[in-house]
Structures are given as structure tokens and as C-alpha cells.
């Protein structure tokens, strides 16, 4: 069954010089339990797509057309209070930079509690800590009690991103949006975090939209891939089809760019001498 269906979504930003069309009538479907990737280079409209789904783009300078059906209701027609009920609850989000997405002043425990209490006050206080510990175990954190009482600066980038993933799971969402979730991490940590994310989402039978500029990153992860370029979906297909017989020349270019991107990441890593985990 289809969980999310974007139909002919057009988004324009009005500014002094004129109008930027960020999305040109894109359509995209995610079924229940399906892991879908949206891939394209920087500026192609990936983040705008995610922000539209979350109802985060709604001021008078933004013109939108089309539909975003989620569980058969059109999110574009919902009031902002109804969208707030859905965001962080039925649809949750994992952002790019985990360390700065966490609040530096609160422990992980406190932030998990806030994520929960944003949507329900009706939970069992005696078992909630165990629930959080189990969520951290779900993302393969071996010392969940320590992590629960830690602050962001005490966590490595990979660890912080795993915490963000478990926070995204708190309200048992139907759909998780992940916008370049591992771009800020070293290449070895990226792979580990993606594989942990894939496992937990598959086990919980959630749906996911993974956004990346790198086709190589989504290969192991996605069932289906959409390729976006300058606000237009150029091609969609199963991951196997996109990799084995890309239909569009732009997709072929993205495929050829994969080894180069990895090379750059590895070189950058050597330069930084960063800790990995």
C-alpha cells in the first residue's frame, strides 16, 4: 500500500530578482515498508522536497502547487497545527549534522523525553528509561546507560548520529526522512551507520526516504531510486535497474562519479586524522 504520494509538486521561491522554481512538478511514491532514495547533486531540490513533506516551508514568499498525500490526506491542505501533530510523530526526520542537531545543554535522556512528550504525555514513567535503553540498543549502542546520560560533546559523530536515529524512532513513525544523514561522517563510519539504520528500519517495517548526493551511498540501502536534477525527476527505478541499466545520461554521469567521490572522502579523512568509531 502507498504511504506517501507526491503528485506534481511545484515549489517556487519569490524574491526581489524574480522567482526560483525549486521543484518542477515532481511525483514520487513510497510504499509501506519501502526504502526509497532521492539522489541528485547539490541545489537540485532534495532538501526542499523533505521540507515540503514536513510542512516546514510555509511563508508567503513560497508558492506551491500539487499534492502530498500521506495516509490519503493531502498534507498541503492540512492546518499547521495538524502538521505539527504529524511531524516528529508519524513522520520523523534525521538531519545531516548530528552533533549540532542535538541540544548541547541537555543529556540524551532529556532530549529523548522531549521528543516523546512533544506528542504524548501518556506513558509509563516506570518503564520509559528501559524503552530508551532498548531504542539505543536497536542502533547497536553497547553502553546505552552511559550514552543516555551523556551530552552531545561527549559523543563521536557516528555515535551522535545513532542517537539521532533512535530519537527519530521514539514515536514509532510510519515514515522517516533522512537528509544526507551521513555526509558529515567519515567514510568508514558512514557505512556502519547506514547499515545500522537499514537494519533497524527494516526490522520495524518503517518506510524511509533517504536523501543523498551520492549514488554509491544509497546502493546498499534503497529498494527504489529517484534521480533529481534542477527540480525535475529525471529517472526512477529499482536500485538494480538504476545501477545496471541507467536510462538517463545524467544518471550514468552520477554512476561514473562514485569512485571519485569515495576517493575524495578518503583523502579528506587522511588529512583530518579524525577519530572514528
Ligand X SMILES: Nc1ncnc2c1ncn2[C@@H]1O[C@H](COP(=O)(O)OP(=O)(O)O)[C@@H](O)[C@H]1O
Q: Which helix (H) or strand (E) holds 26?
A: strand 18-31
Check binding of 47 to Mg ion (CB under 5 A). yes
| Euclidean distance between CA atoms 161 and 101, whole angstroms | 9
Shortest Å, Cβ 74 to ligand X = 21
Stretch that binds ligand X, among 45-53, 82-90, 99-107, 154-162 (CB under 6 A): 45-53
Stretch that binds ligand X, among 39-47, 153-161, 199-207, 258-266 (CB under 6 A): 39-47
Check binding of 162 to ligand X (CB under 6 A). no
* Eight-class DSSP state of 87: B
Shortest Å, Cβ 63 to ligand X = 11
Stretch that binds ligand X, among 24-32, 36-44, 139-147, 261-269 (CB under 6 A): 36-44
Among 10, 12, 13, 248, binds ligand X (CB under 6 A): 13
Residues in contact with ligand X, counted by CB under 6 A, come to a total of 11
Place of cell 506528542: 119
Task: Name residues whose C-beta falls within 8 Å of residue 141's C-beta, 6 or more positions apart in sequence.
Answer: 147, 159, 162, 163, 166
Check binding of 48 to ligand X (CB under 6 A). yes
Say which entry of ligand X, Mg ion, none residue 207 contacts (CB below 5 to 8 A, set by partner kind): none
Radius of gyration of the chain from Cα atoms? 19
Shortest Å, Cβ 109 to ligand X = 32
CA 271 to chain CA centroid, Å, is: 28
| Residues listed for the chain | 277
Pick the closest to residue 152 from 170, 171, 167 (CA basis). 167
Among 26, 34, 39, 47, binds ligand X (CB under 6 A): 47
Place of cell 544523514: 181
Check binding of 182 to ligand X (CB under 6 A). no
Check binding of 164 to ligand X (CB under 6 A). no
Judged by beta carbon, residue 85 or residue 230, the one nearer ligand X is 230
C-alpha cell at 113: 523525553
Residue 152 vs residues 98, 127, 162, 207: alpha-carbon distances, Å: 9, 24, 12, 27
For Cα atoms 138, 141, 146, give the angle at the middle one, nearest 5 degrees: 125
Check binding of 35 to ligand X (CB under 6 A). no
Check binding of 239 to ligand X (CB under 6 A). no
Among 45, 88, 216, 246, binds ligand X (CB under 6 A): 45
Q: Residues interacting with Mg ion, by CB under 5 A?
A: 46-47
**Positions in the binding site for ligand X (CB under 6 A):** 13, 20, 22, 40, 42-48
Amino acid at each position: 500500500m502507498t504511504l506517501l504520494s507526491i503528485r506534481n509538486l511545484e515549489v517556487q521561491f519569490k524574491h526581489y530578482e524574480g522567482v526560483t522554481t525549486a521543484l518542477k512538478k515532481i511525483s514520487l511514491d513510497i510504499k509501506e515498508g519501502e526504502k526509497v532514495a532521492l539522489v541528485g547533486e547539490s541545489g537540485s531540490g532534495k532538501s526542499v522536497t523533505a521540507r515540503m513533506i514536513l510542512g516546514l516551508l510555509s511563508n508567503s514568499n513560497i508558492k506551491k502547487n500539487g499534492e502530498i498525500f500521506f495516509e490519503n490526506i493531502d498534507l498541503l491542505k492540512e492546518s499547521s497545527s495538524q502538521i505539527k501533530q504529524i511531524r516528529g510523530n508519524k513522520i520523523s526526520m534525521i538531519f545531516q549534522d548530528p552533533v549540532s542537531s542535538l541540544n548541547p545543554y541537555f543529556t540524551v535522556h532529556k532530549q529523548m523525553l522531549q521528543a516523546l512528550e512533544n506528542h504524548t504525555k501518556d506513558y509509563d514513567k516506570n518503564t520509559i528509561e528501559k524503552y530508551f535503553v532498548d531504542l539505543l540498543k536497536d542502533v547497536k549502542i553497547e553502553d546505552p546507560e552511559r550514552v543516555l546520560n551523556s551530552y552531545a560533546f561527549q559523543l563521536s559523530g557516528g555515535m551522535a548520529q545513532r542517537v539521532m536515529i533512535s530519537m527519530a524512532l521514539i514515536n514509532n513513525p510510519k515514515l522517516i526522512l533522512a537528509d544526507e544523514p551521513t555526509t558529515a561522517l567519515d567514510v568508514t563510519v558512514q557505512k556502519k551507520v547506514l547499515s545500522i539504520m537499514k537494519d533497524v528500519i527494516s526490522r520495524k517495517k518503517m518506510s524511509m526516504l533517504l536523501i543523498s548526493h551520492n549514488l554509491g551511498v544509497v546502493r546498499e540501502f534503497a529498494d527504489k531510486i529517484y534521480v533529481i536534477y534542477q527540480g525535475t525527476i529525471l529517472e526512477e527505478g529499482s536500485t538494480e535497474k538504476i545501477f545496471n541499466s541507467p536510462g538517463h545520461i545524467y544518471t550514468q554521469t552520477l554512476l561514473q562519479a562514485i569512485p571519485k567521490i569515495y576517493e575524495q572522502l578518503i583523502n579528506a579523512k587522511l588529512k583530518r586524522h579524525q577519530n572514528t568509531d
